Amino acid sequence: MRNGEVLLRVENLKKYFPLRAGVFKKVVGWIRAVDGVSFEVFSGETLGIVGESGCGKSTLGMTILRLLEPTEGRIFFAGQDITRLPPAKLRPIRKDMQMIFQDPFSSLNPRMTIQAILEEGLRVHRVVPRDAMQKEVEMLLERVGLSRDYVRRFPHEFSGGQRQRISIARAIALRPRLVIADEALSSLDVSVRAQVLNLLQELKREYSLTYLFISHDLAVVRQISHRILVMYLGKVVELAPKEAFFARPLHPYSVALISAVPIPDPDVRKVRIILSGDVPSPLQPPPGCRFHTRCPRAQEVCAMTEPPLLEVEPGHFVACHFPGSLTLEGTSG
Amino acid sequence: MKEPVLLEVRNLKVYFRNDEGLELRAVDGVSFTVPPGKTVALVGESGCGKSVTALAILRLVEANGRIAGGEVLFEGRNLLALSEREMQRVRGKEIAIIFQEPSAALNPVYTVGEQIVEAILLHQSVSREKARALAEEMLHLVGIPEPRKRLNEYPHELSGGMKQRAMIAMALSCRPKLLIADEPTTSLDVTIQAQILELLRELQRQIGMAILLITHDLGIVADMADEVVVMYAGKVVERGTKYDIFKRCRHPYTLGLLRSVPRLDVDENALASIPGFVPDPLHFPEGCRFRGRCSLEDETCATEPPEVALGNGHVVYCHHVAFPEVCHA
């Protein structure tokens, strides 16, 4: 597949979780974690998915990989509809889609050596012949900046940053086409985070990877992404090329999100747009536009009608009745 | 002219013993001051000893640890020399603390109101009724809607941001002179973080308290702090005004830290990063603890780095400060 072709397409994807209560665990409601999300990911790009806790970004990542079964909607990977593929048919595709999780302490089996962790996928998917396995594992370790002597060690012998490197080695071992990184840098300290971020960038070039980079950290997302998708309460509110997004965010939520990030420079004075209130529950999302309860520009129509996601400029999508009505003028120096 | 000082930490040492009986020098000779009404940020990566330092100021050290030396002078009194009884009058009344996890700091079986009232009654001679009125006023002050109703709610009925507000209300109910805020917004979303930081700033203006802000987030430091203390592996490596640290820093670790933060307002192709990783407290190197990750390292670094005063309170602990300014931020 050439760069720029559609590698992943998600159509009206929904994932609802039942809320149960009482002795008989009756379903009393549905948590609409992902509620009608559509977008495409092009081969070779990094799409950053941002939003606050509870916006559904992690659920979205897991549902795309079919680690969670979608409630509704369709997922196409490399042109093939994988939404309802049975496990046997899904397995060969899994090799092409890998995931890196937030917590390197719980995502590596503590009873397995690094060798066993890295070999597992290679063996299941028969990527390299048995006699080449050792060499391959050592190569992977060195590629992520760890010593080949570590193969016989266990995860607990490593720091958080080193473990995340091991998770990355495991993810790239199968030469996937798509890597979904879910808060992959969030548990790391500042100095180590920069190392791992740079490593992800290098690997992407080297292995022609496509990333879906899920994070709450806008600054990290800006560093790594080509395009940015913003979620709020299970919905996409904005999707745009990175430059356009940061220069001219059109959704009031995006504007508030950008303005809320403190800049590590005392000379930069920002105009803060401080949103009032909390994120409403995904159990009972507000009617109309889900952001209207916190939106500084909400009008009557916002509480009545849900705004569709529309392309207002080439490649720039926004779901708002009054897009661009807030500007970031004077917010960066 | 000498700057007035509210809190002075002098050569504080906090050591822990691990399961094998080995001594971990988690905080090893830390000194800094907090002027009244100002915000001082204590920054560093995990394991640098910033939280242990904050807790040791209130003499809250876990059972396997001990304060092994130094002084904590609060308005001139050494808190480390007070009796436990006297110390209890300081905690909550003169110095209050808020934590990263509000759910861990609030008791789940008491209502929010009961907990604030208890804190007030402990330190102020007022009637229960008056205390309840004060508690309601505090909840209103921290921006909790319908404060009277909230008084009767339990912590689990509040969202994360609201719990953090309730904890701040409780901490500030006795109008402390110093608030220690240990990663107060780390567990919160960025839009809620902005609310809480704004609230702290506003309350500081109203109450006139000083804040010792413990954080790993340099963005929050630039936003909130007057002065900054940078810690690495249990020691202070540099301290100074916010401008000293962000614009004229002289310690290679401070510089490395500043350069490795991705910024929302700038695009970079590759971030600078510090090679290696933070040593664990059992294997801190002798001499300068940043040794092994530092580009300026030579044989002199095996000895304890000198304290170099650069004027106006800007202090660096490094053998190579004589080098031209390392920071061009």
Q: What is the mean pLDDT of residues A57-63?
A: 95
Query: Is any Cβ of chain B less than 8 angstroms from the Cβ of A257?
Result: yes
pLDDT of A316: 97
Contacts of B193 in chain A (CB under 8 A): 260
Positive or negative torsion for Cα A245, A246, A247, A249: positive
Best interface-test mutation with B: which of A146, A159, A164, A191 has the largest number of B CBs within 10 A? A191
Say which residues have a Cβ less than 8 Å from residue B150's Cβ, sequence separation at least 6. B112, B113, B139, B144, B158, B162, B166
Label residue A26 exposed, middle or buried (CB < 10 Å: 0-12, 13-18, 19+).
Answer: exposed
Contact A320, A251 (CB under 8 A): yes
Average pLDDT, chain A: 91
Q: What is the DSSP letter of A66?
A: T
pLDDT at B329 over 50: no
Residue B272 confidence class, pLDDT cut points 50, 70, 90: confident
* Beta bridge partner(s), residue B72: B9
pLDDT at A329 over 60: no
- Residue-wise pLDDT tens digits, A129-144: 889 999 999 999 999 9
CA distance A164 to A200: 11
Residue B100 confidence class, pLDDT cut points 50, 70, 90: confident
Q: Scanning every residue of chain A, which has its alpha carbon at the shortest distance from the alpha carbon of B280?
A: A159
pLDDT of A247: 92
DSSP per-residue codes, B202-237: HHHHHH--EEEEEES-HHHHHHH-SEEEEEETTEEE
pLDDT at A58 over 80: yes
Q: Scanning every residue of chain A, which has its alpha carbon at the shortest distance from the alpha carbon of B256?
A: A191
Contact between B261 and A190 using a beta-carbon 8 Å cutoff = yes
What is the percent of chain B with per-residue pLDDT over 70, rounded to a whole number? Answer: 97
Q: What is the DSSP letter of B119?
A: H
CA distance B281 to B24: 6
Contacts of A262 in chain B (CB under 8 A): 197, 217, 219-220, 222-223
Query: Is any Cβ of chain A less than 8 angstroms from the Cβ of B202?
Result: no
pLDDT of A333: 32
Q: Identity (one letter) of the amino acid at B103?
A: S
CA distance B26 to B282: 9
Contact B169, B92 (CB under 8 A): no
**Number of neighbouring beta carbons within 10 Å of residue A43:** 18
Q: Which strands form A46-50's sheet, in the order they lie side by side?
A: A97-100, A178-182, A210-215, A46-50, A227-232, A235-241, A316-318, A310-313
CA distance B261 to B255: 10
The model scores a pTM over 0.80? yes
Q: Scanning every residue of chain B, which has its alpha carbon at the shortest distance from the alpha carbon of A257?
A: B191
Q: Which strands form B95-98's sheet, in the order they lie side by side?
A: B95-98, B178-182, B210-215, B39-43, B227-232, B235-241, B315-317, B307-309
pLDDT at B160 over 50: yes
Best interface-test mutation with A: which of B226, B249, B254, B265 has the largest number of A CBs within 10 A? B265
pLDDT at A71 over 50: yes
Helices (H), chain B: 50-57, 84-90, 102-105, 112-123, 128-141, 147-151, 160-172, 190-207, 218-224, 242-247, 252-259
Q: What is the mean pLDDT of residues A178-207?
A: 91
pLDDT at A114 over 70: yes
Residue B197 confidence class, pLDDT cut points 50, 70, 90: very high
pLDDT of A2: 58
Q: Return the closest-CA partner of residue B53 out of B203, B232, B192.
A: B232
Query: Is any Cβ of chain B less than 8 angstroms from the Cβ of A220?
Result: yes
Query: Is any Cβ of chain A less than 8 angstroms from the Cβ of B226?
Result: no
Contact between B189 and A266 using a beta-carbon 8 Å cutoff = no
pLDDT of B201: 93
Q: Return the closest-CA partner of residue B229 out of B41, B37, B50.
A: B41
SS3 A8: strand
> Which of A159, A191, A256 comes nearest B273 by C-beta?
A191
Q: What is the DSSP letter of B2?
A: P
The question of ipTM being above 0.90 is answered as no
Q: Scanning every residue of chain A, which has its alpha carbon at the shortest distance from the alpha carbon of B276?
A: A192
Residues A58-93 as b or e (16 or more Cβ within 10 Å = b): bbbbbbbbbebebbebebbbbeeebbebeeeeeeeb
Q: Minimum mean pLDDT among A110-124, A150-164, B233-247, B272-286: which range? A: B272-286
CA distance B12 to B67: 8
- Residue-wise pLDDT tens digits, A34-48: 999 999 999 999 999
Residue B325 confidence class, pLDDT cut points 50, 70, 90: low
Contact B242, B248 (CB under 8 A): no
The pair of structure tokens assigned to B327 is: 């920071």
CA distance B189 to B203: 21
**Number of neighbouring beta carbons within 10 Å of residue A298:** 17
Q: Minimum mean pLDDT among A123-132, A324-333, B88-97: which range? A: A324-333
pLDDT of B328: 47
Contact B204, B172 (CB under 8 A): no
- Residue-wise pLDDT tens digits, B206-257: 989 999 999 999 999 999 999 999 999 999 999 999 999 999 999 999 999 9
pLDDT at A276 over 90: no
- Residue-wise pLDDT tens digits, B21-41: 889 999 999 999 999 999 999
Q: What is the mean pLDDT of residues A263-277?
A: 84
pLDDT at A332 over 70: no
Helices and strands in chain B, H and E counts: 11, 12
pLDDT of A165: 92
Q: Return the closest-CA partner of residue B279 out of B293, B265, B296, B294.
A: B293
